[in-house]
Amino acid sequence: MKDHAHNQPVVTVHYAQSLDGQIATCTGDSRWISSPATLTYAHALRAENQAVLVGVGTIIADDPRLTLRLVRGEQPRRVVLDSALRIPLGSMVLNDSAKASTVLITTPRASAERIVRLCAKGVDVVVVEESDDGKVCLASALECLSSFGIERVLVEGGNQTITSFLRAGLVSRLAICIAPLLIGKGVGAVGDLGVVRLAQAIRFQTAQWIPAGPDLIFEGKL
């Protein structure tokens, strides 16, 4: 289902956090915060969406496969926001194209040589405009995904990508797995949203809490 008002795919944000709101330790270690029960839920979310999107920071930290494995369904496209194409050439998403296709969304800052090198690996590289802070413009990225026929996108992290989508008001639904552990100083789930008064806080139209083994899943519509 598209967001017809803006001709953009509908965006769901999903991540797993500790009780104190961290998605990784201070060294970037995030595997695994949630229990096997919530990992299955995470894969079911992937199955509902036609694309799974992360920032290049998550690729560098975790080298994830971003494929559907724990439930049946069609493999979503893997999408990476990477404004200068600094993705490591050995990354899983660049080297297992038989499992799922990958789209790198970049900006005019990426070199032509790098684009050619990455296209030779069988991935799609799309250049869109830069945002004011020199990153990939999210509205343009979503338009590009729409042109691929993608109507539902699952944003899986990390901190900067989640924050950018929320700040831009592009998120329709949030699904957070909350696991019973404390990390302390680490990588927070959400960064600066520009909220200085509680009246500006993001609130939900619906809120549902689902127990999943030792974890709790929060689902909310915005």
Ligand X SMILES: NC(=O)c1ccc[n+]([C@@H]2O[C@H](COP(=O)([O-])OP(=O)(O)OC[C@H]3O[C@@H](n4cnc5c(N)ncnc54)[C@H](OP(=O)(O)O)[C@@H]3O)[C@@H](O)[C@H]2O)c1
How far is the C-alpha of 148 from the C-alpha of 142, rounded, in Å?
Answer: 10
DSSP-assigned states of every residue in 148-201:
TT--EEEE---HHHHHHHHHTT--SEEEEEEES----SEEESS------SGGGS
Query: Which lies closer to ligand X via its Cβ, residue 50 or residue 106?
Result: 106
Residue number, 56 or 125, with CB nearest to ligand X: 56
Looking at 138, 150, 153, 166, which residue binds ligand X (CB under 6 A)?
Answer: 138
- Shortest Å, Cβ 132 to ligand X: 10
Cα 12 to Cα 222: distance, rounded to the nearest angstrom:
10
From the CB of 75, what's the least distance to ligand X, in Å? Answer: 19
- Spell out the residues 6+ positions from residue 138 whose beta carbon is closer than 8 angstroms to its own: 131, 164, 165, 168, 170
Among 10, 53, 68, 81, binds ligand X (CB under 6 A): 81
> If binding is defined by CB under 6 A, does position 82 make contact with ligand X?
yes
Least Cβ distance, residue 104 to ligand X (angstroms)? 10
Would you state the structure tokens that stand for residue 46, as one six-digit string? 């992937």
Q: Does 160 bind ligand X (CB under 6 A)?
A: yes
Using an 8 Å Cβ cutoff, are 76 and 105 in contact?
Answer: no
Which region among 23-31, 66-74, 115-123, 142-150 touches ligand X (by CB under 6 A)? 23-31
Interacting residues toward ligand X by CB under 6 A: 15-16, 23-24, 28, 30, 33, 54-58, 61-62, 81-84, 86, 131, 135-136, 138, 156-161, 164, 187
